[in-house]
């Protein structure tokens, strides 16, 4: 709770300092971009491995690029033995992009490569390979005449090209997979307020997950986030901004043959801190996320940290 209070305090301070006459200096071609929180890691399940790092780039909102995303969890080694835990690391390297189709419509897509590891008393277990691809259409619903307010929505699909291992669902964390084996669908909504040196973004998305060929269905997932951006420095070709915010995730129960699987639902709330640097059409960004609250898989899994870094080329 102390972490949560501190994060909220810092966000409120950023909004106070943003009342300056200078401009956030977003290049004009980028002002029509849409901003949606998207699920980046598709090895999904109840509580781990389906983390949402999202993209909220204000510097190059239409882009192609590459991103690395790391998640660290601690899970019970044995449900019947207290105090014995294992570290689990979910790593994703993905090609991603958001390409404009028209003034209001963009297409987002990503293809991830997963390399995951869990360290058990019996030895380390590693899996790697391509994950599930994602495709989404993003539409600008409205934008105010002064460009201070913008609302965008999206609808997407996750394509099951990653391998799903039926044996993996018997462990403490059934999310230790390369893919879900199922076609999943996503609805997203994003609101942006931007004025002077400051921008505030509110994002929410909901993923509807279906049953795969092995009759296993991961629980639906709701992500939400609030992020404040502050432009800290700029010159003619470059911009540097910092960002600070909160991000939450809620997971429904997994099912097998239509029956609810116990100890699979959960939720978590993270504080996040990051930056973005842009030089002409290139941008570099990074983000660190730490849990303010975690109750995953009825407490059997503890969220520890997340880290991401990306390099994009603006379109």
Hey, what are 51's tokens? Answer: 């983390």
CB 254 within 8 A of CB 238: no
Report pLDDT for 77.
74
Across the range 254-270, mean pLDDT stands at: 95
What gap in Å lies between CA 230 and CA 251, rounded to an integer? 31
Work out the pLDDT band at 58, boundaries 50, 70, 90.
low
Interior/surface letters 181-210, b for 16+ CB within 10 angstroms, e for the rest: bbebebebbbbbebeebbbbbbbbbebebe
Across the range 219-248, mean pLDDT stands at: 94
The dihedral sign for the CA sequence 188, 189, 193, 194: positive
Q: What are the distances in angstroms from CA 72 to CA 6, 18, 81, 289?
A: 23, 34, 22, 10
Mean pLDDT is highest, among 25-34, 122-131, 165-174, for: 122-131
Q: What is the DSSP string of 156-222?
A: EEEE--S---GGGGGSS-TT-SS--SS-EEEEEEEEEEEETTEEEEEEEEEEEE---TTSEEPPPEE
Task: Encode pLDDT of 75-118 as tens digits.
Answer: 987 756 667 789 999 999 999 999 999 999 999 999 999 999 99
CB 151 within 8 A of CB 132: no
Work out the pLDDT band at 140, boundaries 50, 70, 90.
very high
Work out the pLDDT band at 307, boundaries 50, 70, 90.
very high
Interior/surface letters 158-179, b for 16+ CB within 10 angstroms, e for the rest: bebbbbbeeebbebbbbbbbbb
Instruction: Give percent of the chain with pLDDT exceeding 90.
Output: 70
What gap in Å lies between CA 286 and CA 55, rounded to an integer? 11
Token match 């709330």: residue? 269
Report pLDDT for 298.
84
Instruction: Give percent of the chain with pLDDT exceeding 70.
Output: 79
CB 72 within 8 A of CB 88: yes
Report pLDDT for 4.
44
Work out the pLDDT band at 170, boundaries 50, 70, 90.
confident
Report pLDDT for 84.
77
Contacts for 149 with CB less than 8 Å, ≥ 6 apart? 142, 143, 191, 192, 193
CB 266 within 8 A of CB 298: yes
**Lowest mean pLDDT segment, chosen from 46-50, 149-153, 237-241:** 46-50
Contacts for 294 with CB less than 8 Å, ≥ 6 apart? 268, 269, 302, 303
Task: Encode pLDDT of 36-45 as tens digits.
Answer: 545 444 333 3
Report pLDDT for 13.
42
Contacts for 287 with CB less than 8 Å, ≥ 6 apart? 53, 243, 272, 273, 274, 306, 307, 308, 309
Model-level pTM? Answer: 0.83
């Amino acid at each position: 709770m102390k972490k949560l209070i501190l994060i909220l305090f810092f966000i409120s301070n950023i909004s106070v300092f943003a009342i300056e006459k200078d401009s956030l200096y977003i290049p004009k071609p980028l002002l029509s971009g849409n901003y949606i929180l998207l699920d980046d890691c598709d090895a999904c399940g109840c509580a781990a491995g389906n983390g949402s790092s999202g993209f909220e780039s204000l510097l190059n909102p239409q882009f192609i690029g590459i991103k690395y995303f790391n998640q660290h969890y601690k899970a019970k080694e044995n449900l019947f033995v207290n105090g014995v835990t294992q570290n689990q690391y979910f790593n994703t390297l993905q090609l991603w992009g958001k390409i404009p189709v028209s003034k209001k419509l963009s297409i987002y897509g990503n293809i991830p490569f997963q390399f995951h590891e869990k360290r058990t008393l019996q030895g380390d277990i590693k899996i790697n390979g391509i994950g599930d691809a994602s495709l989404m259409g993003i539409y600008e619903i409205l934008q105010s005449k002064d460009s201070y307010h913008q609302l965008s929505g999206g609808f997407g699909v996750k394509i099951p090209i990653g391998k799903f291992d039926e044996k993996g669902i018997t462990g403490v964390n059934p999310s230790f997979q390369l893919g879900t084996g199922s076609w999943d669908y996503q609805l997203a909504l994003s609101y942006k307020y931007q004025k002077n040196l400051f921008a505030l973004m509110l994002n929410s998305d909901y993923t509807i997950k279906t049953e795969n060929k092995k009759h296993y269905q991961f629980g639906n997932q709701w992500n939400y986030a609030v992020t404040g951006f502050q432009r800290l420095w700029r010159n003619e070709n470059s911009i540097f901004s910092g960002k600070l915010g909160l991000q939450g995730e809620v997971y429904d129960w997994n099912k097998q043959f239509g029956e609810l699987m116990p100890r699979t639902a959960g939720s978590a709330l993270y504080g996040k801190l990051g930056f973005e640097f842009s030089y002409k059409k290139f941008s570099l960004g990074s983000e660190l996320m730490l849990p303010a609250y975690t109750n995953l898989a009825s407490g059997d899994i503890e969220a520890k940290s997340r880290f991401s870094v990306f390099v994009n080329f603006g379109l």
